[in-house]
Structure 1
Amino acid sequence: MSAELTEKQFKKISLLIYQLCGINLKDGKQALVRARLMKRLRALKIQSFTEYIGYIESQSGKQELSFMVDVMTTNKTSFFREPEHFTYLCENILPKMNHRRMRFWTAACSSGEESFSLTMLLREHIADSALRDIKVLATDISMKMLEKARHAIYSEEEVRDIPPLFLQKYFTKIRQETTSFYKVRDSVRALVRIGWLNLMDPWPMKGPFNVIFCRNVMIYFDRPTQQRLIHRFWELLEPGGYLFVGHSEGLSAVSHKFNYVRPAVYRK
């Protein structure tokens, strides 16, 4: 099947995605949008983008909007990605946290690797973690990625960046025919609360959070959307709380109240 995506259709879909989840699909992304949405056309046995747009605008096609956003979001992630952040967390933040109640939020958790990386470190570096009220909130807009995070089962390739000691301590090896998989153990999963969240919607959680990770997400938003998001993170952090963004992001393009700590790390 070969369906053409016209400029007018691209702009219509781009506007809809922007309104739904804040992703700003710039000019030049037309081929990418077409390639990703072709998966949905094939799944629905729809022959053209004219028919697809008609479907998502109809009452019966409302549930398709979440599938459309799903294929349009980039879900690149890995365990201990951008390791400098985790090193800084362990050396400079966790040793000073003597709260009984500790709250962390991974605001675009994808398939769970970031959240479980954080939780393993909390288990390692907070001696009496079992006696404290510690929770990691893991949210994402992709239902498909959240389903994987809930299962918490990863391939050998996906766990390659995990230190061998952590792999032995916090994962259970599962053999399926000739392939090995690794499942995150309950001692780690018990601290994580996984939930669907569109960052553009009202947020149900009240906070305050000690640390928020929102890494490699804001690059997909335009400046006004980034501005609003940073302000909302500020409001939800405790005084002295930390915000981690991706190393390719930074906050230099938006006005904010945060204190710069080091590249991609800010403090309220």
Structure 2
Amino acid sequence: MSGLSDGTFREFAALMHAAVGLSFNDSKKALVSSRLTPRLRRLEIEDFDAYLALIAGDPQGEEFQTAVDLLTTNETYFFREPAHYELLQRELLAERPRTLAVWSAAASFGDEAYSTAMLLADLQQQGSIGADWTILGTDISDRVLRSACAAVYPQERLRDVTPQRLKRYCLRGEGESEGLVQMHPKLSERVRFGQLNLCQPIETIGPFDVVFLRNVLIYFDAETKRAVVDRVLTQLRPGGLFFTGTAEGRVSCATPLQALAPGAFRKALAA
């Protein structure tokens, strides 16, 4: 199979940027090649030009979605960046809200949404928040959303979940399902998932009290990052909490934010 040429890579990058906002500069050529080469071999496609023609012909199709999945799916696990959950807990203990709506805007396989659900269920049980809380998880990938809806995870992904929470909220697989964990219905009934492209206009799905937009901005260029952040923040109520990945740097946006900690912000109250 022939390699990925510079010209084909740039055409591929332009297609991904136009369709879903993903940004691949020249330094990402090796990454794109390494992630897509096994797919081409599986499909018995001889070169990247032919694969580009295949996905460009149907940007809404299944194979295009597969390419997006291969290029954007990274490691995810429960309670990633635990300082954010600690800050969220402190804020909720201080506010003691009776209702709460949370949005996991780049939900991937649902680890983040269910981590948050465990925390909120604990706080509800303690009487620190009301019983009226919900979590929405969205992602551009239909494949990862199907997995999130199934709510079944390799046990390794829950390595940072306390034994107490594992006992309360997880069902361990047996026999052929050994090594897998399923979320308890008392969590999954609180969490719903839906497909959403952050680079397109967002209908009114909020307002939310908490929004997670973590570890997705790395895929966008500076202009797209600003547009995505401001678009997402229209769904967060004034005074609400906003979380980004701590490795993603300072958030650049027009919406006024108060920095609370690395990757943690409060949306300014309306004047």
Tell me the alpha carbon deviations over residues 132-171 of structure 1, each in whole angstroms, 9 at most, x when there is no partner: 3321000112222212211111222122111001001100
Distance 2:251 2:84 in 1: 19
Deviates more, 1:109-118 or 1:120-129: 120-129
- Structure 2 vs 1, CA of residues 60 and 234 (structure 1 numbering), >3 Å: closer, same or farther? closer
Between 52-61 and 84-93, the greater mean CA deviation after superposition = 52-61
Deviating more after overlay: 13-22 vs 250-259: 250-259
**Where does structure 1 lack aligned partners over 5 or more consecutive residues?**
none
Check 1:181–1:60 CA distance in 2 against 1; reply closer, same or farther (3 A cut): closer
The alpha carbon displacement at 1:75 in A equals: 2.5
Q: How does 1:117-156 map to 2 (within 5 A)?
A: 117-127=115-125, 132-156=131-155
Compare 82-91 and 244-253 and name the one that shifted more: 244-253
Q: How far off is 1:250 after superposition? A: 3.5
The one-character-per-residue Cα deviations of 1:81-109 (angstroms, maximum 9, x if unpaired) are: 00000011111235414233x21000111
Asked if the contact 1:234–1:258 (Cα under 8 Å) also holds between the matched residues in 2, the reply is no
Give the structure-1-normalised TM-score: 0.91
Instruction: Tell me what 1:262 maps to.
Output: 261
Q: Is the 8 A contact 1:55 1:61 kept in 2?
A: no
Relative to structure 1, is the Cα distance of residues 181 and 11 closer, same or farther in structure 2, using a 3 angstrom cutoff? same
SS of equivalent to 1:158: helix
> What is the alpha-carbon distance in structure 1 between the residues aligned to residue 60 and residue 117 of structure 2?
38
Alpha-carbon offset, residue 178 of structure 1? 8.2
Q: Give TM-score scaled by structure 2 length.
A: 0.90
Report the counterpart of residue 31 of structure 1 in structure 2. 30
Offset at residue 47 of structure 1 (A): 1.3
1:184-206 deviation digits (Å, cap 9, x = unpaired):
00001011011111111222343
> Unaligned 5+ residue runs, structure 2?
none
Once the two structures are overlaid, the 10-residue window that deviates more, 214-223 or 79-88, is 214-223
* 8 Å contact from structure 1 (residues 106, 139) kept in 2: yes
* Residue pairs, 1:13-32, within 5 angstroms: 13-32=12-31
Aligned to 1:110, what secondary structure does the other structure show? coil
State the secondary structure of the residue aligned to 2:206.
coil
Aligned pairs, number: 266
Provide the C-alpha distance between the structure 2 equivalents of 1:178 and 1:193, rounded to a whole number of angstroms: 24
Mapped to 1, the partners of 2:22 and 2:257 lie a distance apart of: 24
Counterpart of 1:246, as a letter, is: G
CA distance in 1, matches of 2:189, 2:26: 43
Provide the residue aligned with 2:196 in structure 1: 197
Select the residue among 106, 122, 125 that pairs with 1:108. Answer: 106
Q: Once the 2 structures are TM-superposed, how far is the Cα of residue 56 of structure 1 from its aligned partner?
A: 2.1
Shift of 1:52: 1.4
Q: Larger deviation: 85-94 or 8-17?
A: 85-94
